[in-house]
Amino acid sequence: MNSDCLFCAIAAGDIPADIVHRDDRVIAFRDIDPKAPVHVLVVPTAHHATAADMGTADPELSGRVLAVAGEVAAAEGIAESGYRIVANTGDAAGQTVHHVHVHVLGGRDLTWPPG
């Protein structure tokens, strides 16, 4: 737990969120500023700054995060239509919360390439 970290605080229950999944290592909650009809963030409760850091430190956890992303997509009804998973990493990609999170975006047609 990083005391200055927003997503550590949400994982600890200190800051409320619209949580759609919680297990012993991973939570998922709706983005407060959704960019698509479905926009859920999948977040490990352990603090890792980036997806790369998590992938190096804890490959099993990385797999769990991706599995939950798929479960969320199914539960939200976008698994068949298609959806996007995104892990913005670093300043040039617009990462604003430095606790790894996978965006699950869907419910509309998503253009490619992204902005």
Query: What x/- string results for residues 72 through 111 when contact with Zn ion is judged by CB under 5 A?
Result: ---------------------------x------------
Neighbours of 105 (CB within 10 A): 21
Say which residues have a Cβ less than 8 Å from residue 114's Cβ, sequence separation at least 6. Answer: 86
- Give 4 or 60: the residue with its C-beta nearer to ligand AMP: 4
**Shortest reach from residue 14's CB to ligand AMP, in Å:** 11
Using CB under 5 A, pick the residue from 22, 30, 47, 84 that binds Zn ion: 47
**Distance of alpha carbon 76 from alpha carbon 62, whole angstroms:** 21
101 is catalytic: yes
Retrieve residue 103's tokens: 């965006």
**Distance of alpha carbon 31 from alpha carbon 47, whole angstroms:** 18
Query: What x/- string results for residues 3 through 32 when contact with ligand AMP is judged by CB under 6 A?
Result: ---x----------x-----------x-xx
